[in-house]
Structure formats: C-alpha cells, structure tokens
Structure 1
Amino acid sequence: MAAPRDSDSPHELDFALAAKLLDAQPFTRLVGARLTEFGDGAATIEVDIRPELHQQNGFLHGGVLSYAADNALTFAGGAVLGAAVLTGGFSIQYVRPSTGRILIARAQVMHGGRRQAVVRCDLSTADEEGTEKLCALAQGTILSVTQG
C-alpha cells in the first residue's frame, strides 16, 4: 500500500482507494489480481487461474498464492490501520495443490492495535460451478508506518 497524502487521515481508506492502490502495483496487473471485498478489517483478492500462472505439474504456482496472501493480509490490516502499512512478515501453509478457475484470498484481522494487526488469510480455489476448496492458510503481522 502507499502512504496517504498529508491531507488524508490514516483511516480514510475505502474500497475505491484500496482497489486503486492494489492496481498501482505492476505485479498485480501482470498477475491479473483484483480486490473484490474490502472493509471492517477484511479484504478479498481474486486471481483468474490461467496456464501462465501454473508450475510444471499443472497446479497454480505457490508464488501466486504467496502474492495473493501477502496482499490480502496487508489490505485487511490497512482496513484497520489505514493506508500506510507494510507487511512485517507472514507464513503460509499449503494444504493441497491449487486447481480451479479462480484463486480467492480472504483475509481477516484477528487482532488489531494502534501500530500493528495480526491477520489470517484463507486461500481457496473455485471451480466452474463456484465450489471452493481450501488450498492454503496464511497468517501475518501488518505494521503501520505512519509517523506519530
């Protein structure tokens, strides 16, 4: 995420601004990710699964899952802490190979303070019928980088 302008309060982050901040990342545009939900300490990022994002065995590459987790965690944290946040660190556990039509990364703040938030992210894939399968879990710490 980017730091808010001087005229912005750190908590003035709505869906439109959050979506604009995500789209400002060149890698986001390369992967084709989009923000589909944002607010109340939560964020959801979706990526259409296409062959260019697969690894050698035909599954979605773990780097794409990590990218989606990192951004969903950070945006969920930003929903609580404001736009000026960075990922302090996160871990991810892959629970099954990722196949399907869409990757869905749903993050929720589990604990938020003034300067940091602990966030969990469930990563699922959805098939053509919309049936979801959990493929990874992530947890991270999101840090406020505002001065003061």
Structure 2
Amino acid sequence: MPTVEPLDLLHLGHRVLAAQPFSLLIGATLEAFSPGMAVLRIPIREELLQQNGFVHGGVLSYAADNVLTFAGGTVLGPGVLTSGYKINYLRPAVGESLIARGTVVHAGRRQAVCRCDVFAVDGQGNETLCATAQGTIVATGAGPEVREGGPS
C-alpha cells in the first residue's frame, strides 16, 4: 500500500464509513485512523439497548468487527473484508458512548490479524472494558466503492 498522509487516511476512513448505511444508522464515527490502528465511537441511545438496559451485544460486535477491518485495511489496502473474528463479552455496556480501539497484531501480504477492545464511556469520560475481540482481515484486491457525503 502506498504511503498515505494521516489526514488523508482519516478522510478516506470517513468516506468509507459514510458509505456504510448501517454505520450511519447507529451513528458510528471514526475518531482516529492511522497505520496499524483505528478508533470508532458510537453514541449510546435507547434504540441500541436490549431488554435489561444494556447495549445490545450485536452493537458491541459491530463495533469490534468494523474497527478490526479498518485497522487491517491500513496495512493491507482499502479492499479488505473480515474473514473471521472472535469476541468475548466481559461486562454489560452502559454509559454515554462506546469506543472501540483496534490495532494490527501481525500483517502479511494478504491477511492481517487484529485485536480490538470495546469500552463503555460514562459522562465523566471514564472507560469500562466491555468486550475484546481478535480477527483475521483479508485483502480482496479491490477497493471499496465510496460515495461522497456523510461525516468528514
């Protein structure tokens, strides 16, 4: 992958996220995106909760999957998909937002192994680890179709 300036990479990441209708639906934003790492934030709102008032596990899973793929894409190029991932739910997520931080553990030419921690953030900015995940991201050889618009 050619060297990309950090601001250009973040702008590309915003465009890719904006091209994902589900990401827009849940209000995900890409807060950081640089070689080997990505950070995604999701505001917690009532529609994302399960019956006990905790953030639904599917939302935590989405956050992990997406940030793993974004992190892997920084080393493999923009045409990537998640081949598989494992997530461990550690405690219920409650607070004002979720933050998922992903990093590349190891990368080859065609795949990257990445890890992610998902935190619930309260009103004072305190973070509680709620889930951790590891996944394999594979290069598809094609770049994503990205439309203009959305967050930038």
- Superposed pair shares fold, TM > 0.5: yes
1 CA distance for matches of 2:97 and 2:114? 22
Match of 1:141 in 2: 136
Match of 2:63 in 1: 68
Instruction: State the secondary structure of the residue aligned to 2:24.
Output: helix
Match of 1:42 among 37, 43, 49: 37
Match of 2:15 among 8, 15, 20: 20
Match of 2:73 among 35, 56, 78: 78
Match of 2:121 in 1: 126
Q: Show structure 1 runs of 5+ residues with no match.
A: 1-8
Match of 1:102 in 2: 97
Match of 2:111 among 113, 116, 137: 116
Runs of 4+ deviating beyond 6 Å: none
1 CA distance for matches of 2:95 and 2:102? 20
> What fraction of aligned residue pairs are identical, expressed as a percent?
56
Q: What letter corresponds to residue 116 of structure 1 in structure 2?
A: Q
Alpha carbons 1:11, 1:79 under 8 Å: kept: no
Match of 2:147 in 1: none
1:33 aligns with 2:28: yes
